[in-house]
A and B are shown apart, each in its own frame.
Chain A
């Protein structure tokens, strides 16, 4: 018995949602398994999982052996990833591979990548008492080095600092790597415990898309039943702070170009229509070279090299980011907020609205060219609970009117005005 969600067949073998869409018109397929847990104290150990799980399985003795196994599968990308969705940690086991019918000898790619996925999830050296302490210590040192290296990308450093200070006290206010102190405190038993926690208590979702073989559900079943049974624990909605006075934060670093980050808040969209209105408003404000931030802040006033707006709608957190001269920081911030107010007041042309809609629709029109893009879209809609196909979303975007854009823009408020300034500058 199966249902349909956003154009995917939806079945629930053993209670786990499996979303599936075959597309014989493409050449690759993708399998993704997601486990979701609230962002919590195990964050640093969780963030180390993708690297630690590279260090071998029962069948592939170490990291080079695992890498060679992937290469032999015509460079199938099989592995674990770690990210966040609003205030949830997401562990992602995925495979992205070329379909057998496009390869010499038509090898069983679908079966082989599932085997490799299973190896990494359930037969990893991390779970067995086989991972040497020095490998763990090496990966912990690497995680710490990577966290510190963010400072070599000043834009990323500014964004991280701004978001952490804006979201202090919220689950979101933890860096994706967990934080330097937390990484240092991770002990050898923590990452395997974090993996078991995901597999046993995570909200699990499975998605498949692309050039899948015949009867993919049947061929996937042994893989699914080999994964540990999950007894998911509840997930919480994201924390949204009440409207408050905007804070101005200025930090310095030895560098040439100042980085401006405006952290803004917006209500989390509770329907596809509200999500579309927010998306169009953001497109109009700073979603590309057609936007007000590009045309007014960069082109007309030459205040910066780049200025754009984007963010995490599922958290209700939006960001304006710009790189500019230190003497332009205030002007960039003021002009950006003035442009948002203009949009909120409806002072934009019909052509600007139509362009912002067209730009928002553009990627959706070709989303079926690559299975990965369609799968990511569907996963996102499933986690939100918005049952819309890309075609329906294109129509919803097309229906966004001036009033909806004004309403969405007017509900956005500035929480933190942050800038990272060159040391010794004005």
Chain B
């Protein structure tokens, strides 16, 4: 097995790409001057993957299954996963998102043992009816904790308004009711379907010997093959509801405006380009560097709580703009006015954003976990490298204007207003 070497486009550091005999895509970023090493193992299984082909038929799983499985992989027969990593001075954890679940550790010593342990963790699940039951109360508490977070509740209300069929509308951890339906059998079924070498990406960054790393990774007992076929939920129509209102325990009302991605599915590179271009649009209108935003704030239309962002993944994408306000109608009107304002995109703005992006990129080179996370996600998707940087570098003002014209449309828009209980 040999590596293909590529270099990053800013500081020219090496990234080595390989695929193991069992089909796992691996990236190694040797950084001999750093002291810490991070490994990130990412699977293409997230909260939206509720319906899939389990081999002997299509199964529908309850909301929160991917997250529940993530919890359970941290339990093995010795009941000492965390303790083993801690004893080596390593920090280990995991994270479940809409489309991915990642397991990772960082350490400054005993890297080989930590990597072997991580590989064992994801390849040898210890899931029993008893330990699934024991975990239910802990996860229920986690779900309750998020139910006390009004911003999260508002976001998922907005997603529910935009998507009436796509499972992105469900919270990542599910609900206390949905996790009540999760059993050891369901978790093992999901594990068998999704935890495969062809549905994963592994990246390691730090002062490591790439050949030695690859030799250890080759020992990984994860089953080979691709991930399962998922239910194809084509939910690219207009938002299911243009408006939703909720009452929550908030100090001030909240307004959250969403713009739904309506374009058909696209390649990974095209999605990243869309995200870059949408980021430029949102930045021009809503960032701290925007004179338009400052003018609106001076007029009291909204305050510093205003924030904007974009997320685009396979099968769904959306921009959100929101703030806390004493006058939701006025704030909503101001956000709508900003979206339709006559704002030019110029080369000076693009150059500033490129500089900002280069600065962030170089900074990330000092953080092994950030490096490994970005590359594990790219490895999962395929072989393209540094697509975010390439996408931003290639953008023109005309691309940005076109992007704005496509996503900022009345028919794409949904609003969530949260009022005080």
A residues engaging B (CB < 8 A)?
A: 25-28, 51, 54, 62-64, 67-68, 71-76, 97-98, 102-104, 134-135, 138, 141-142, 145, 148-149, 151-155, 253-257, 288-290, 294-295, 298-299, 302, 304-305, 323-325, 351, 354-355, 358-359, 361-362, 365-366, 368-370
B35 touches A366 (CB 8 A): yes
B149 near A64 with CB under 8 A, answer no
A358 and B114 alpha carbons, distance in the complex (Å): 14
Least Cβ distance of A92 to chain B in Å?
Answer: 19
With CB as the reference atom, state the residue of chain A lying closest to B93: A289
Q: A71-B289, A74-B355, A102-B10 are in contact. Are A257 and B144 (CB under 8 A)?
A: yes
B86 touches which of A64, A254, A355 (Cβ 8 Å): A355
C-alpha gap A295/B81 in the complex (Å): 11
Q: Is the CB of A64 within 8 A of B291?
A: yes
Docked-complex contact B297 and A138, CB < 8 angstroms: yes
The 11 sampled A-B contact pairs (Cβ below 8 Å) are A28-B363, A54-B288, A63-B288, A71-B352, A74-B356, A75-B355, A149-B324, A254-B249, A354-B87, A365-B108, A369-B36
- Shortest CB-to-CB span from A396 to chain B, Å, is 15
Q: Would B359 and A27 count as touching, CB distance under 8 A? A: no
Instruction: Give CA–CA (A63, B304) in the complex, Å.
Output: 12
Q: Footprint of A on B, CB under 8 Å?
A: 10-11, 33-36, 79, 82-83, 86-92, 106-109, 134, 137-139, 141-142, 144-145, 147-151, 249-252, 287-291, 293-294, 297-298, 300, 303-305, 324, 352-353, 355-360, 362-363, 365-368, 421
User: Which residue in chain B gives the minimum CB-CB distance to A139?
Assistant: B304
Given contacts A75-B355, A254-B421, A256-B148, contact A134 B82 (CB under 8 A): no
CA separation between A135 and B134, bound complex, in Å? 54
Residues on A with beta carbons closer than 8 Å to the beta carbon of B251: 145, 148-149, 151-152
- Most chain A CB within a 10 A radius of its CB, from B90, B305, B363: B363
- Beyond the given A27-B366, A256-B148, could you list 15 further A-B residue pairs with CB under 8 A, ordered by the A residue number? A28-B363, A28-B366, A64-B288, A72-B352, A103-B358, A145-B303, A253-B249, A289-B82, A289-B86, A323-B145, A359-B86, A365-B108, A366-B35, A369-B35, A369-B36
Contact A145/B324 with A152-B251, A254-B249 known, Cβ cut-off 8 Å: yes
> B87, A355: Cβ atoms under 8 Å?
yes
Flag if A74 contacts B358 (CB, 8 Å).
yes
Chain A residues whose C-beta falls within 8 Å of the C-beta of B289 in the assembled complex: 64, 67-68, 71
- Across the interface, A290 reaches (CB within 8 A) one of B87, B106, B147, B365, namely B87
Task: Kindly identify which residue among B138, B294, B359, B368 contacts A63, using a CB–CB cutoff of 8 Å.
Answer: B294
Identify which of A141, A155, A289 gathers the most chain B CB atoms within 10 Å of its CB.
Answer: A289
Compute how far the CA of A26 lies from the CA of B34 in the bound complex, rounded to whole angstroms.
8
Q: Is the CB of B294 within 8 A of A152?
A: no
**A74→B35 contact, CB < 8 A:** no
B141, A325: Cβ atoms closer than 8 Å: yes
Q: A151-B251, A152-B251, A365-B35 are in contact. Are A98 and B363 (CB under 8 A)?
A: yes
By the criterion CB–CB under 8 Å, are A141 and B355 in contact?
no
Whole-angstrom distance from the CB of A147 to the nearest CB of chain B?
10
Q: How far is the CB of B181 from chain A (nearest CB, A)?
A: 19
- Cross-chain contact B90 with A302 (CB below 8 angstroms): no
Is the Cβ of A351 less than 8 Å from the Cβ of B87?
yes
**A76 in contact with B359 given A152-B150, A298-B138, A362-B108 (CB within 8 Å):** yes
Partner of A370, one of B79, B87, B90, B367: B367
Cβ A149 vs Cβ B252 within 8 A: yes
In the complex, the chain A residue whose C-beta lies closest to that of B353 is: A71
Residue of B nearest to A298 (CB): B138
Contacts of B360 in A (CB 8 A): 75
